[in-house]
Amino acid sequence: MILSELDRKRRTMVSCSIIELVHMYRNGQIATREVNQLRVRSIKNYLLDNALTKNIYLPPLVASSREGAAPNGDPIELSIIDGTQRIAAFAQLEDSILKALKKGEEKVKLAYELDSLMKDSSITIQVFEGLTRAEESQLYLDLNLKGKKVALSKRISFDSRNNLNVITNQVLHTHQSLKTAGVELEKRSINRPANKNLLSLSQLRQVIGIFMTGKAHLNIEEKVSQSPLSNSEYITLIHLYLNELFDIYPAGQMGDYTKCMLASYPLFIAVALYVNDKMENQPICIRPSMNAHWVKRPFITNREAESPFAKNLGRSITG
């Protein structure tokens, strides 16, 4: 959208409590776009995880109203341009709070904190007056597609609240052989054979998520909010695993697709899944024994030996 077109529209900044916003939504005073339940669940988990500490940040909503609809105060009806998933998350969260308070569940303390948060916290809404439907749609696209997203490397480096990102950052900076093998920081995947880094940062985080959950998940950040081990225990465990890998084959060559078959990410992640099979809930004193599955036989071989590799993989891992 051309900036001068927006400049001609009247804009106001209004603020209302989250609970008021939910009530407007339920009463039909707020029109929203299509709800993405996966995104809504992610926002709900963020609110739940940080309710007790109140370390929560939510950007302003963006909405439009009919021109002159509220000449003497806040707009009575709004059409949400950006913020549908946040509003839906607030509404679903209110339902969860009411259920928890009525049933007297164990999470009642958290429910009270969330109830207080919903009533006492306000959210800002930037309201454009008199936008056409076409202008609303274009502004929505501009806000969601043209804004520069935070790079994954920055999210992992600076995110101190998500355990998965904290552990990934620690492993990335403390395991010397992993540094030698190489971790691609700018791209989410590795283009072989030109890129000889062993893993991308996104792939490393996925592997670490397997140690925390026992499975490979698409939305791994949502699955690690509750983990049986401490961060330091996971870091120790992953160091043990990486040490075992790099004892088998030189770290500096493991990302070379012509020399080492673990340069194939599907195979790399398959091995991680194997050694973590049914281990995710085991204490740290037991889980290192998973390394007993490994024996130092030449199951990591060159590309010319793919058939022997396929035959020997089971024997090599199990001994």
Does residue 318 carry a pLDDT above 90? no
Q: Which residue has the higher pLDDT, 319 or 197?
A: 197
pLDDT in the model for residue 287: 56
Please provide the DSSP assignment of 113-150 as one string. Answer: HHHHHHHH-EEEEEEEES--HHHHHHHHHHHHHSSPPP
pLDDT in the model for residue 182: 94
Instruction: Measure the CA dihedral 26/30/31/33, to 10°.
Output: -80
Cα–Cα dist 15/166, whole Å: 34
Mean pLDDT for 86-114 is: 76
pLDDT in the model for residue 235: 93
pLDDT in the model for residue 74: 55
pLDDT in the model for residue 5: 62
Mean pLDDT for 265-276 is: 90
pLDDT in the model for residue 61: 93
pLDDT in the model for residue 67: 61
Q: Which residue has the higher pLDDT, 51 or 261?
A: 261
Does residue 198 carry a pLDDT above 90? yes
Q: How confident is the model at residue 49 (pLDDT cuts 50, 70, 90)?
A: confident
pLDDT in the model for residue 162: 81
CB atoms within 10 A of CB 233: 16
Mean pLDDT for 296-317 is: 36
pLDDT in the model for residue 72: 47
The answer to whether 250 touches 185, Cβ cutoff 8 Å, is: no
Does residue 295 carry a pLDDT above 50? no
Does residue 158 carry a pLDDT above 70? yes
Q: Which residue has the higher pLDDT, 240 or 302?
A: 240
- Tens digits of per-residue pLDDT, 302-312? 433 333 333 33
Does residue 249 carry a pLDDT above 50? yes
Mapped onto helix, strand or coil, the DSSP state of residue 16 is strand
pLDDT in the model for residue 307: 31
Output the average pLDDT for the chain.
78
Mean pLDDT for 26-36 is: 89
Largest Cα separation within the chain, whole Å, is 79
Q: What percent of the chain has pLDDT over 70?
A: 74
Q: Which residue has the higher pLDDT, 149 or 64?
A: 64
pTM beyond 0.85: no
H or E segment to which residue 184 belongs:
strand 183-184
Does residue 80 carry a pLDDT above 90? yes
pLDDT in the model for residue 314: 38
Which amino acid, 39?
Answer: R
End-to-end Cα spacing for the chain: 63
Mean pLDDT for 204-223 is: 82
